[in-house]
Chains A and B, each alone.
Chain A
Amino acid sequence: MPEKQRGRYAALAIAAVVIVVGIPLWWKTTETYRAWLPFSEISELDSLQLQLSVDIEVVFSRGTLTPEQQKKFPLISIPELLTSPSTEADLSLHMLSESSCGSVVVYVIPESSTLLPEDVKVYVGQRRTALLRSPPFKTSWNLKEVLSNLDVEVEQVVSTMSFGHQDIVAALSNRVRMTKVTKESMADSMRAIKSSPGYEITFSLLNPDPKSHSLHWDIEGAVQSYIQPLLNKLAPIANFSVDSQILYYAVLGVNPRFDNSVSAYTLSADSLSHVINPVEARLGSNAASSNPVLNFLLYVPDAHHSPLFIRDHSKRKVPSNAFHSPRWGGIMVYNVNEMYGPEAERPVDININMAKVMGVFLAQLRLMLGVQHTHPPTGFVLQSPGSAGLADWELDRLLWSRSVENIATASTTITSLAQLLDQIGNIVINDNIAQQVSSAVTSLQSAVAELEAGNLAFALQYSREAILASERAFFDPSLLHLLYFPDDQKFAIYIPLFLPMCVPIVLSLLKIVSEAKKRRADKQAKSD
């Protein structure tokens, strides 16, 4: 029957047009734009292998090796060590070889040297050098054996001056779930403020009683002489900006209790946690940037509540009269009641002793920035950091843990972003986001490679770039536009068109199929 045949062809042709032209057209016009992302490279980041390497230079001084051994060495450098106190030796050694950021130079001195006191095995200087009293070598040893004999000591030196296992674990503890973390390194990492490209440091003088006290503080000079040297030293880690303000009628949130035994007001350690919140409302957020803020408050108690002392958990007076709150900042109480007599004319002009205040704030700042306490093994002597407040190797320690932390943060940000984008198909991925993501990935890869090669400065640089790019991609507002466009509304819009169009096509296709089946069955019956 040609008529029936023609109808069948027409139905097939319409179905074909709908499938070949209609569906792709609909797909193309309603598609959300999703730029290409390097998913495979991102999934590699998920199981990132970090390998950190440190350049160690071991220098043998005159008298540590026998002449035969010296001949076997490919390169021999013999520094003319002064027989002066070790600090000067440290400086002269630093002049001798300019060591790059992240590297360590170990000078091996003869066992009989008078450079170090008797019981001192290792001396760590202000810069990137250490002096190591050599253990006895057998004259028959070759280079390999001599070095392997030194292995344990050198390893100890490196874990003091660069990083140990604990430090890396602590740096990663925020991002990676760890099983074995000591309480102390955990506390250190909790206290230190999160790694960020910049910090705002705000000093606030709280004067709750301007009627009795007229306070003057030379914050500008104090910042110049106490804080700025440390910040200059830390410049490779982040940008710091410092400002200060004076807040009047700002009070602590807790009423201090009067203690008859010492005839003073006291704040117990338990109540300190309630002090910050009411004050924070007055501090004001930084209007000009979104970097994390470190607050340092100097609180001068009002005349009726002075003197005020802070007590620790064992009810003893805290000698510095200050406390700090992890990742937030520090508060110091500064009593002025002894500076004037009861008959003094109000308001009393009071100049604040900035050296005393800044000593406390500087110590707190070091804690916040994550300059960790090092616990050297026995026999180690550490040179005090000097005027800058930070030795070169302390900075290196910080750089090591910061780069590892940055890499961990950036890779979790990128992987979770990729996971999110993968799961929710509605999100539009613009080209700039794709670009940020790929630049973050390449920076991450370079950072990991530089860490492996021991170039600490570059590694930190790349890890900072990675963090910036990944955060910019993650917090881009364009990701939110279609995020909450529900599927049921989409179906509600499509159904009035698709249902009446598809039902006849599907029905006639079914009919054609069933007819074809029937015909085949007929044919089979006929042939049988």
Chain B
Amino acid sequence: MLILSSLLLFILTTHSEALTPAAARDEFQEELVIRPLHSGDIYASFQFRTLWDTDFLQEGQKVSHYRLFPKSLGQVLSKFSVRELHISFTQGFWRTMQWGQPFIPSPPGAELWVWFHDTVSDVDGNWKELTNVLSGIFCASLNFIDLTNTVQPSASFKPLGLGNATDHRFLRYATLPREIVCTENLTPWKKLLPCGSKAGLAVLMKSEKLFHSSFHSQAVHIRPICQDEQCSSKAWELRQTLNVVFDLHTSGQGKKEWSLFKMFSRTLTEACPLASSSKVYVDITDNPELFELSPATPLLGQAVVLGDRRTYSVYDLSRAETFGQLRSFNLLLRDMLRPLLHAERYVAGFGLQTGEIHTVIYNNHPYRAFPVLLMDSVPWYLQLYIHTLTVTSKSRDNKPSYIHYQPAKDRHRPHLLEMLIQLPPHSMTEVTVQFERALLKWTEYTPDPNHGFYVGSSVVSALVPSMVAMRTNFTQDQPLFSSFVPVKEESSYFVRVYTEPLLVNLPTPDFSMPYNVICLTCTVVAVGYGSFYNLLTRTFQVDEPSPPLSKRLANLIRRMRGVPLLT
């Protein structure tokens, strides 16, 4: 009997193998989190995750047969030996003070950071080609990324996926703060989803609504992760995220009511049939009693995200009963906590010669100090005086425990400044550095130079102490938005805060000047040359002075009268 059952099992397994022949397992999940913000705005965060149990970087084996994973990105990964790729396009600035922390932070404009595999010999060449290819895929001007705005941060951007690479030679980071994000970036982003915008949560992404918002950010994150807890083999994870903040407060006449239809002018009708899980979460932590969600859901979920235990109403779209009459959610809100970490930045000074960059970092934790990593990448045309760098907290000098500074080379690379600063509890830390504005060559100015030049956001990365203990075991059931950044410590969570990008005016010449100068110098040369030439070639002769006019007139009259002429 035992033999028989084992034989049966054997037959069964071989049969199932024959059905799915050696195809690598892949999986797709989709999720939407809706979180009312205390300013009255609504934060909607989409996350789509495609997991594929395959390895793009395996030697001698080319990955070429795609199912859920988009082919264009897979080809990019294997061609350029990319180990990790993070790209985000953001329109608007995330107001941390009013809105709290986002699930996945991103700076205004475009941000791209890539870890290359350590077999890559020509990292800069790969980087250049990669940015060109990505600009084609996402219809963005990433091709303006070159060595003058690329840095290699030594501490701030560690790989988020598998493997603990420390050699920052294989890391490239660049931002384009001027990049304007619009529909043409959204369309290719949607095309990467297995269901496109035809089914599932992506149906809600109507561009005229998404871009009529206070904040819009779309991103793609690719990284290798473990297939299971033992981490015996690698899997690749593609996360596509889209974060929107809708300003329903002003458009809704001050009422704190919202619905999916009001925000997206669409409603959900089905889950993506390819998704293994498809869920909508609504954050109801701040309003335990005073809300009314329709339809009500029996499912409540809890998740610790960004150091805060929050309660969510969960709607499972893969179950048919969810689509009874899902039309509108209505709910009331209370104030939120202040974010524990917050940073802002501005330019001080007057005139067009020198200036000062102020970066202010707030620690709002009532009793704990914690360290933060500050990374600043400043273009070469702002010449930093690094000796003027000061860090003060509570009007006392705060010496950074780690400083990495790479000075700029004109027209070749930007400044890179990384610091590890200890923030005292409940304090404001100010980092200032003075700079001088360089004069550019006249071809280096942008078409509208009087608009000013953008300086990308500085990045504050920190492990913020948490009030809530965290679960550390890896579970599949966790919502996607809580599991992006791997955190090992129990009592803290990882946060990245981007400051505002700076807009700096550079001394701008009058662009018709070169021609004026040419004309002026030529005239001066010609006048000098002309008189010199005259002096050299003219011959001087003594000439009989002609009689004055009065004498000639007198002679004329005399001739008429017949009197002898005057001599």
Contacts and interface: CB of A to CB of B under 8 A. Distances in A.
Nearest to B76: A287
Nearest to A214: B273
A220 B22 contact: yes
B300 interface: no
A72 B485 CA distance: 89
Contacts of B199: 210-211, 249
Contacts of A219: 65
Nearest to A205: B67
Contacts of A288: 75-76, 78-79, 133
B526 A287 contact: no
A220 B65 contact: yes
A496 B522 contact: yes
Given A3-B539, A216-B19, A243 B71 contact: yes
A496 B71 CA distance: 60
A14 B537 contact: yes
Interface of A: 1, 3-4, 6-8, 10-11, 14, 202, 210-211, 216, 218-221, 241-246, 248-249, 282, 284-289, 347, 351, 492-493, 496-497, 499-501, 504-505, 508
Contacts of B539: 1, 3-4, 6-7
B136 A287 contact: yes
B72 A287 contact: yes
A221 B137 CA distance: 30
Contact of B530 (A216, A221, A284, A500): A500
B295 interface: no
A464 B147 CA distance: 35
A496 B270 CA distance: 74
A243 B526 contact: no
Nearest to B130: A287
B537 A11 contact: yes
A289 B79 CA distance: 9
Contacts of B64: 241-244
Nearest to A512: B537
Interface string B350-385: 000000000000000000000000000000000000
Contacts of A497: 518, 522, 525-526
Contacts of A285: 72, 136
B522 A284 contact: no
A504 B533 contact: yes
Interface stretch (B178-186, B188-196, B205-213, B337-345): B188-196
Contacts of B19: 216, 351
Interface residues of B, number: 49
Contacts of B133: 287-288
B537 A508 contact: yes
Contact of B137 (A11, A244, A287, A505): A287
A505 B533 CA distance: 9
Interface of B: 19-23, 62, 64-68, 70-73, 75-76, 78-79, 133, 136-137, 191, 194-196, 198-199, 270, 273-274, 515, 518-519, 522-523, 525-527, 529-530, 533-534, 536-541
A504 B530 contact: yes
A501 B539 CA distance: 20
B82 to A, nearest CB: 11
Given A7-B537, A287-B75, A508-B537, A221 B21 contact: yes
Contacts of A221: 21
A3 B538 CA distance: 9
A210 B272 CA distance: 9
A7 B536 contact: yes
A351 B72 CA distance: 26
Given A210-B273, A244-B66, A288-B78, 5 more contacts: A3-B539, A10-B536, A244-B65, A248-B198, A501-B529
Contacts of A504: 530, 533-534, 537
B526 A284 contact: no
B536 A14 contact: yes
Nearest to B67: A246
B536 A249 contact: no
21 contacts: A3-B541, A4-B539, A7-B538, A7-B539, A10-B537, A14-B533, A216-B19, A218-B21, A220-B23, A245-B67, A248-B196, A286-B75, A287-B75, A288-B79, A289-B79, A500-B523, A500-B529, A501-B526, A501-B529, A504-B530, A504-B534
Given A3-B540, A216-B19, A221-B21, A210 B274 contact: yes
Nearest to B79: A288
B151 to A, nearest CB: 25
Nearest to A213: B273
Among B71, B133, B191, B195, residue most surrounded by chain A Cβ atoms (within 10 Å):
B71
B518 A496 contact: yes
A189 B197 CA distance: 40
Contacts of B533: 14, 504-505
Nearest to A495: B522
A65 B108 CA distance: 89
A8 B539 CA distance: 9
A250 B459 CA distance: 41
Contacts of A505: 533
Among A211, A245, A492, residue most surrounded by chain B Cβ atoms (within 10 Å):
A245
A245 B71 contact: yes
A216 B20 contact: yes
A246 B534 CA distance: 85
Contacts of A4: 539
Nearest to A212: B273
Contacts of A282: 191, 196
A220 B64 CA distance: 9
Nearest to A8: B537
B534 to A, nearest CB: 7
A500 B538 contact: no
A246 B66 contact: yes
Q: Which 7 pairs of residues, A with B, have the shortest CB-CB distance? A: A500-B526, A496-B522, A243-B64, A249-B198, A288-B79, A288-B75, A497-B522
Contact of A245 (B20, B66, B529): B66
A145 B188 CA distance: 72
Nearest to B525: A497
Contacts of A8: 537
Contacts of A284: 70-72, 191
A287 B79 contact: yes
A286 B539 CA distance: 79
Among B62, B522, B541, residue most surrounded by chain A Cβ atoms (within 10 Å):
B522
Contacts of A216: 19-20, 23
Contacts of B71: 202, 243, 245, 284
Contact of A496 (B67, B526, B537): B526
Among A211, A242, A497, residue most surrounded by chain B Cβ atoms (within 10 Å):
A497
Contacts of A211: 199, 270, 273
Contacts of A11: 536-537
B518 A248 contact: no
A500 B522 CA distance: 9
Contacts of A501: 525-526, 529
A243 B537 contact: no
Contacts of B70: 245, 284
A284 B196 CA distance: 13
A221 B194 CA distance: 23
Contacts of A492: 515
Contacts of B65: 219-220, 243-245
